[in-house]
Amino acid sequence: MATAAPRAHRQSLEWPVLVSVLCSPQNYPLYIRSVPTENELKFHYTVHTSLDVVDEKISAMGKALVDQRELYLGLLYPTEDYKVYGYVTNSKVKFVMVVDSSNTALRDNEIRSMFRKLHNSYTDIMCNPFYNPGDRIHSRAFDNTVNSMMMQVC
């Protein structure tokens, strides 16, 4: 573990976004992409936990007077090392992104526009007649969008 830690850190500097995940309305994954690291399982765990927060946020929005009806949910929860952001489309597809805490270049607005980009790309996939809604996403165009997003130099 002692050797793994600095390596993970170095990677995180090169990769501002560590994980991006799309989940169906039933909470099974449609797409997972994470930085190549041995901690992948931990990321999956983090994302999985965050889905509960997403659900909570949506249901709270339904009854509360809070007129925060944006698709972007903002910061779901910060941990010591990561920040987890969420986004839910009107069709209840959940997008989750995990970002390194030490990265201060990524502000709320940047994250929001990244989610927008993801959503645009996802819409294109939904409108592809050869894609079955609910299937795992295997699309080169989508891969490219995510790649460019994750490796974007800040």
Partner 1 sequence: MADEALFLLLHNEMVAGLYRAAEQGEGENGRCTTKLESMGFRVGQGLIERFTKDTARFKDELDIMKFICKDFWTTVFKKQIDNLRTNHQYLAFTCGLIRGGLSNLGIKSIVTAEVSSMPACKFQVMIQKM
Rg of the chain over Cα atoms, rounded to whole angstroms, equals 15
Pick the piece of the chain touching partner 1 (CB under 8 A) from 7-15, 28-36, 104-112, 127-135: 127-135
Instruction: Indicate whether 120 belongs to the interface with partner 1 (CB under 8 A).
Output: yes
Among all chains, which residue has been given the structure tokens 């996939």?
Answer: 125
Min dist CB 129 to partner 1, Å, is 7
Going along the chain, which residue ranges are E strands? Answer: 17-23, 29-34, 72-78, 82-88, 94-100
Q: Containing H/E element for 116?
A: helix 108-126
How many other C-beta atoms lie within 10 A of the C-beta of residue 122?
A: 21
DSSP 3-state assignment of 99?
strand
Instruction: Say which residue the tokens 């990677």 belong to.
Output: 11
**8, 71, 112, 139: which one binds partner 1 (CB under 8 A):** 71
Q: Does 129 bind partner 1 (CB under 8 A)?
A: yes
Q: 37, 89, 103, 139: which one contacts partner 1 (CB under 8 A)?
A: 89
Among residues 79, 101, 102, 123, the one that binds partner 1 under rule CB under 8 A:
123
Q: Which residues bind partner 1 (CB under 8 A)?
A: 25, 61-62, 69-71, 88-92, 119-120, 122-123, 126-127, 129, 133
